[in-house]
Amino acid sequence: MRLGVELGGLRLKNPLIAASGTFGYGVEYEGILDLSLLGGVVSKGLYLEPRDGCPVPRIVETPSGLLNAIGLQGIGIRAFVRDVLPRLARYETALIVNVCGDTVEEYAEVARIADVPGVAALEVNISCPNVKKGGIAFGGDPRMTHEVVSAVRKATRLPVIPKLSPNVTDVSVFARVCEEAGADALSCINTLLGLAIDVERRVPRLAFGTGGLSGPAIRPIAVRMAWQAARAVRIPVIGIGGITSTEDALEFLVAGCRAVQVGTANFVDPGIYARILAGFESYLQRHRLESIGEVVGSLRFPDGEAPGGPGA
């Protein structure tokens, strides 16, 4: 109970969630750690049909980070429901399906198919390109964001959690749009757009060219944007970006997030979840707090007011 959290109808036994794309479909980590230790697991992004993704090389390390252009390779929602979901049923953790689409209609259909027993919520990847509008990302235009979130909301009874893009001018605008469209919570943030260059060959290090930057390098940006989103809406926010320790996770909670997702660290440190959970307990004892909820939104500024004034 001390670590339990509630996210717009989704109840988790603790605030730790394995992030989409870095944890496979969950089954890949069987035998490496007990999935029941986690509050939740987010699947790899799923479209209606299987996808091959981008050509290799797809991943390149950067200082304190990782740049990737996987291209949302996946088995498709039907194969996931048929083959993967039954394997995850034995674990006491909330399964969240990451929903993708090239069109609003595809998002809605994937959401409809994913609304089955065993799935706890849907995370909507609004960074996908809208092929009907020249490849513009849904998450980069408020009207398109509203359209896709609203369509998913109508297609499912499950909690809907849009994943916000950091590649926008004001994340607060998109947070409010998602709330207005019926979102139950928000995931904040997705990866930052980056480019790494092989200077000897004078070509990008990724075959696709640009990629998404994740890892500790982006954490201060992610904390700031999650804080802005949490101040802009009444629905819960899940913080994502560069978490590698208890202190990192607590930054997001203090900033106003009710839960966090661990991403890039999954590749190098599967034991991170047990250490963060132990760290949470130690923190609550040290500060004489009854529950993790008392930490959420407890950020104080020296002069009593946040930069930009109330609600900025």
Answer yes or no: is 303 within a domain. no
Answer yes or no: is 302 within a domain. no
Give me the domain span that covers residue 248. 5-294
Query: What one-letter code names the amino acid at 300?
Result: R
pLDDT of residue 130: 81
Answer yes or no: is 290 within a domain. yes
Positions of E strands within the chain: 5-7, 10-12, 16-18, 40-42, 59-62, 65-68, 94-99, 121-125, 129-130, 136-137, 160-164, 186-188, 192-195, 197-198, 203-204, 210-214, 237-240, 259-262
Contact assessment for residue 25 and residue 80, using Cβ atoms and an 8 Å cutoff: yes
From 54, 100, 128, 178, active-site residue? 128
The answer to whether residue 128 is catalytic is yes
Give percent above pLDDT 70 in the chain.
98
Answer yes or no: is 311 within a domain. no
Query: Residue 97: is its pLDDT beyond 80?
Result: yes
Cα 177 from Cα 144, distance rounded (Å): 10
Please, which residues bridge with residue 18 across strands? Answer: 41, 262
Answer yes or no: is 312 within a domain. no
Residue 212, domain CATH: 3.20.20.70
Answer yes or no: is 308 within a domain. no
Confidence of residue 132 (pLDDT cuts 50, 70, 90): confident
Q: What is the pLDDT of residues 55-70, one digit of tens each?
A: 999 999 999 999 999 9
Report, as an integer, the average pLDDT of 158-179. 97
| pTM (global) more than 0.75 | yes
CA distances to 7, 59, 116, 119, 183 from 156, rounded to whole Å, are 17, 34, 10, 11, 11
Answer yes or no: is 306 within a domain. no
Domain tally, the chain = 1
